[in-house]
């Protein structure tokens, strides 16, 4: 993921400097981050704020959330969710889809990850976010109601510690938080300077005080205090799965809704006696529970970080019927069509698989035409989408051979126009 920034001569952000927020792209970002809806909080300013209305550089938690694309207002949550439901229903209506199941979100403290640029004023640094079109006027934060309770508890304490420590403070420009429902927390502190033994000693003391893992980053440097991942635990159909979530890799931001998605997908796939092909498997989020429903799984993912996390997660959970290969969906399509061989498939006998189902969780652009055509071969297509418009376009391409048997809306991103959805397509 790229961090794009402009620095003052001293290397810090100052009032008046143009500051570009971290920009992520999913299946690239979180990180693959961004599809804008899957942005970290630093990018939420780009994805979820209305342009205009300059904001005074003050500690303005309320001001920040009121500039979300759908203002933060827990009292209006049910109405906002109904509007999303209507939108999904209308998009799927041409395909005679059944009424979608709707899975809501906690009204606040639902985001498990957040990234903040820091704004320097009066020789102090503050957590800051910016509205799109105005990257000179910061909104200074002391907390964020959409972020997890653990993040909100850590934010002021961490700020106190860096303000009290010249070693931790010097040329610090960004702070990232990653937490889990299971209670883990990791903080990444990003610097415009090399990190030395003095920094490491101060960071070790800080990590112990806060009971977190801590990562220090500067150009070409990564220092790890504790682990460079957090561990999440999610229950699916009565079984608890453990997930390593590495720093810098894509993870679902709303843990509660992610658990609901996993249970829906587990139920929708059903108990099968054949095999499953999974495209875009990430860190194995869906792979682990779905593997328990089939004979064996062939899973693909292009990100090295995600592949390594998925392999660790398979091993940690004792799931031994999955073969994971680092291929893009397009490359796997070529392999299955015998267009060309791939060294990364050495030892994998594609003809030994009896694929009855395919599971896809593509980026916002949806499946490319060739991959969409590939899925037509399967009796059942289980599709999780972060963009209902591209989902509808893919269903239109498949509608002559497959019907929508089940559909669902998962409110991963409250108070925004973004939504996660799922469909089960079954061959006619």
115: left (phi over 0), alpha (psi -120 to 50) or beta: beta
Closest CA to 382 of 252, 261, 209: 261
Cross-strand pairs, 213:
186
Contacts with 266 (C-beta within 8 Å, 6 or more apart), sequence order: 236, 237, 289, 290, 293
User: Annotated catalytic, 420?
Assistant: yes
The verdict on whether residue 361 carries a ligand-binding annotation is yes
Three-state SS at 258:
helix
**Residues 229, 244 contacting (CB under 8 angstroms):** yes
Q: Which tokens go with 304?
A: 């090295």
Determine how β-strand 322-325 pairs with β-strand 297-300: parallel
Task: Tell me the C-alpha distance between 395 and 374, whole Å.
Answer: 13
| Helices marked H in 38-127 | 41-48, 61-66, 77-92
Report which of 104, 242, 107 is spatially closest to residue 184, judged by C-alpha positions: 242
Other Cβ atoms closer than 10 A to 66 = 16
Would you say 252 is a known binding-site residue? yes
**Contact call for residues 102 and 85 (beta carbons, < 8 A):** yes
Q: Which of 24, 281, 386, 407 is catalytic?
A: 386
Q: Is position 280 annotated in a ligand binding site?
A: yes
Q: Among 108, 232, 331, 420, which one carries the catalytic annotation?
A: 420
Tokens in use for 372? 């969409």
Name the token pair of 49: 């704020």
- Compute φ and ψ for 110, nearest 5 degrees: -100, -20
Does the annotation mark 389 as catalytic? no
Please give the Cα distance from 84 to 210 (Å, whole number): 39
Q: Is residue 183 left, alpha or beta, with left meaning phi > 0 and alpha meaning psi from -120 to 50?
A: left
Q: Which residues are catalytic?
A: 386, 420
Annotated binding-site ranges: 252, 280, 285, 301, 361
Annotation: binding site for S-adenosyl-L-methionine = 252, 280, 285, 301, 361
């Amino acid at each position: 993921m790229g961090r794009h920034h402009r620095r003052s001569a001293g290397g810090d952000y100052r009032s008046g400097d143009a500051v570009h927020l971290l920009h992520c792209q999913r299946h690239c970002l979180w990180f693959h981050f961004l599809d804008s809806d899957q942005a970290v909080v630093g990018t939420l300013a780009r994805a979820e704020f209305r342009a205009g209305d300059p904001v005074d550089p003050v500690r303005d938690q309320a001001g920040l959330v009121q500039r979300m694309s759908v203002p933060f207002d827990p009292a209006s949550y049910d109405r906002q969710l109904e509007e999303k439901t209507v939108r999904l229903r209308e998009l799927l209506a041409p395909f005679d889809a059944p009424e979608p199941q709707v899975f809501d979100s906690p009204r606040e403290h639902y985001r498990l990850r957040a990234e903040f640029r820091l704004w320097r004023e009066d020789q102090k640094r503050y957590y800051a976010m910016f509205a799109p079109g105005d990257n000179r006027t910061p909104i200074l934060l002391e907390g964020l109601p959409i972020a997890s309770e653990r993040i909100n508890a850590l934010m002021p304490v961490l700020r106190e510690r860096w303000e009290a420590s010249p070693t931790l403070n010097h040329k610090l420009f960004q702070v990232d938080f990653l937490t889990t429902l299971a209670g883990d927390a990791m903080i990444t502190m990003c610097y415009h300077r090399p990190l030395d033994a003095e920094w490491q000693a101060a960071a070790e003391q800080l990590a112990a005080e806060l009971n977190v893992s801590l990562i220090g980053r500067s150009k070409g440097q990564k220092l790890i205090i504790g682990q460079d991942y957090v561990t999440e635990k999610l229950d699916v159909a009565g079984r608890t799965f453990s997930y390593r979530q590495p720093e810098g890799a894509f993870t679902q931001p709303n843990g509660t809704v992610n658990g609901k998605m996993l249970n829906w997908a587990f139920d929708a796939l059903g108990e099968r006696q054949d095999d499953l092909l999974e495209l875009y498997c990430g860190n194995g989020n869906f792979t682990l529970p779905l593997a328990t429903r089939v004979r064996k799984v062939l899973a693909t993912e292009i990100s090295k970080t995600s592949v390594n996390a998925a392999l660790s997660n398979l091993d940690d959970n004792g799931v031994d019927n999955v073969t994971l290969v680092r291929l893009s969906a397009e490359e796997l399509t070529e392999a299955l069509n015998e267009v060309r061989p791939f060294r990364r498939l050495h030892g994998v006998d594609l003809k030994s698989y009896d694929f009855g189902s395919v599971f896809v969780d593509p980026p916002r652009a949806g499946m490319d035409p060739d991959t969409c055509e590939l899925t037509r071969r399967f009796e059942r297509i289980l599709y999780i989408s972060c963009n209902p418009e591209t989902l509808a376009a893919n269903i239109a391409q498949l509608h002559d051979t497959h019907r929508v048997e089940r559909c669902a809306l998962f409110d991963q991103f409250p108070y925004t126009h973004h939504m996660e959805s799922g469909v089960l397509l079954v061959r006619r």
